[in-house]
Structure 1
Amino acid sequence: MPDKDAGTPRVFLVRHGETEWTISGRYTGRSDIPLTTNGEAQVSSSAAKLVGAGKIINPARIAQLFISPRTRARRTYELLFDEAAQKGLETKYEITEDIREWEYGTYEGLLTAQIRSGRKERGLDTERSWNIWLDGCENGETAAEVSERLDRIIKKIRKFQGPYMYGEKEVDVVLIAHGHILRAFAKRWIGFELGTALPMMLEPGAVGVLSYEHHNVDEPAFLLGLNMG
Structure 2
Amino acid sequence: MTQRCIIVRHGQTEWSKSGQYTGLTDLPLTEFGVKQMERTGRSIFRDNAFIDPNNVTYIFTSPRLRARQTIDLVLETLTPEQKSKIRIVVDEDLREWEYGDYEGLLTHEIVALRKSRGLDKTVPWNIWRDGCENGETTQQIGLRLSRIIARIQNLHRKHQSEGRSSDIMVFAHGHALRYFAGLWFQKLAVEQKCNNEWERVNPDSYKDDTVPYVQLDTYRYLNDNPFFLLDAGGIGVLSYAHNSIDEPALALAGAFVPPPEEQSQHEEVRK
- Specify the alignment match of 1:206 in structure 2: 234
Q: SS state of the match for residue 236, structure 2?
A: strand
Cα distance in 2 for residues equivalent to 1:166 and 1:50 = 27
Moved over 4 A (4+): 83-87, 163-167
- Specify the alignment match of 1:44 in structure 2: 38
Q: RMSD over aligned Cα, in angstroms?
A: 2.0
Aligned ranges for residues 70-149 of structure 1 at < 5 Å?
Answer: 70-82=64-76, 84-85=78-79, 88-90=82-84, 92-149=87-144
CA shift in 2, pair 1:128/1:213, >3 Å: same
Cα distance in 2 for residues equivalent to 1:108 and 1:197 = 20
Task: Give the residue type in structure 2 aligned to 1:170.
Answer: S
- Specify the alignment match of 2:3 in structure 1: 9
Q: Is structure 2 residue 212 aligned with structure 1 residue 184?
A: no
Query: Which among 22, 26, 31 is matched to residue 28 of structure 1?
Result: 22
- Cα deviation, 1:125-182, whole Å, max 9, x if unaligned, reads 0011111100001111111111111111111111121244488213210000111100
CA shift in 2, pair 1:80/1:148, >3 Å: same
Cα distance in 2 for residues equivalent to 1:209 and 1:120 = 38
Task: Give the residue type in structure 2 aligned to 1:39.
Answer: G
Q: TM-score, normalised by structure 2?
A: 0.77
Q: SS state of the match for residue 51, structure 1?
A: helix
CA shift in 2, pair 1:30/1:128, >3 Å: same
Cα distance in 2 for residues equivalent to 1:174 and 1:135 = 29
- Cα deviation, 1:197-221, whole Å, max 9, x if unaligned, reads 4211111111100000011111101
Cα distance in 2 for residues equivalent to 1:97 and 1:106 = 20
Gaps of 5+ in 2: 190-221, 260-271
**1:14 touches 1:208 (CA, 8 Å); kept in 2?**
yes
Q: Shift of residue 227 of structure 1?
A: 3.5
Larger relative contact order (Cα-Cα within 8 Å, sequence gap ≥ 6): 1
Q: Shift of residue 58 of structure 1?
A: 2.1
Q: Shift of residue 196 of structure 1?
A: 3.6
Cα distance in 2 for residues equivalent to 1:104 and 1:70 = 15
Q: TM-score, normalised by structure 1?
A: 0.91
Cα distance in 1 for residues equivalent to 2:130 and 2:173 = 19
Q: SS state of the match for residue 29, structure 2?
A: coil
**1:53 touches 1:60 (CA, 8 Å); kept in 2?**
no
CA shift in 2, pair 1:86/1:25, >3 Å: farther
Cα distance in 2 for residues equivalent to 1:85 and 1:183 = 31
Cα distance in 2 for residues equivalent to 1:190 and 1:53 = 31
Task: Give the residue type in structure 2 aligned to 1:21.
Answer: W
CA shift in 2, pair 1:30/1:85, >3 Å: farther
Identity of aligned residues (%): 42
Q: SS state of the match for residue 10, structure 1?
A: strand
Gaps of 5+ in 1: 1-6
Cα distance in 2 for residues equivalent to 1:65 and 1:53 = 21
- Specify the alignment match of 1:150 in structure 2: 145
Task: Give the residue type in structure 1 aligned to 2:3.
Answer: P
Cα distance in 1 for residues equivalent to 2:258 and 2:156 = 23
How many residue pairs get aligned? The number is 223
Cα distance in 2 for residues equivalent to 1:79 and 1:139 = 34
Query: Which among 170, 174, 179 is matched to residue 175 of structure 1?
Result: 170
